[in-house]
Structure 1
């Protein structure tokens, strides 16, 4: 097995942690996303999403070549890219308004929880992508789960800032 592919797909071995390696992969994505945002703002996090997707697809294909299991639990690079996507609305808001991204910690909690919810339950197109049975499907189901989570983060922020704060403030 290609060692670089293994280290990439398991995010440096994090995928071997038990229980719930996908959750460990999502947790590992949080400080990595923070670092990308801190170093280069929203644009760098977008580049990280694209790069992680491309490299993750390659690594997953390498690790699953010749195996009947198209999505072994130790492959968690897909969770990293999905979690990055779930955090994009926070990165954009922090970048555009020039604020510390950690101030939006409730959004981080929501992004993590929503991404895990969608990744585990696999509703609609997430499940269809997962059933592809190939490396691209492994990555795409988490990309879509990340998009669903990002939409959820935006919706919760709109609800909080557009409705709840007005009610509380009166």
Structure 2
């Protein structure tokens, strides 16, 4: 996690009780459930994904799929976000789109139908646009047309009253 409850001082001299890392950046050390929702301090939560991990694209897809299969799309989004931030410029939009899909699934599982459907469609559009601009439908072995179809179908299902969804049962197959 790398977080601690060190706090800081506000400009008015009062103490800032937010979680801060050793450089003073805000971090939230609060435990989280499998969908990334905060739990009360002292509660056992789901271990968080470490931030800023540089993985190969193969490792990214494998790790994200494992988390999706476990019903942890919030955590899969963090893996995709690491790839988006550390990957090549040519693939940033691909990883960003996949992160949006994982967040969309997170919202659908939390019962936020409108936000979830919107993020699923946005992520599907980003992945589809990235693939068509490069003529690549299977980057790193991923089935982007299948993932795009999954996202659009799930968005439609939840809007027709199918939400909240079980994140593990509703997870896409990336390959």
Higher relative contact order (CA 8 A, sep 6+): 1
Using the size of structure 2 for normalisation, the TM-score is 0.32
Larger radius of gyration: 2
- Point out the structure with the larger helix share: 1
Per the normalisation by structure 1, the TM-score is: 0.32
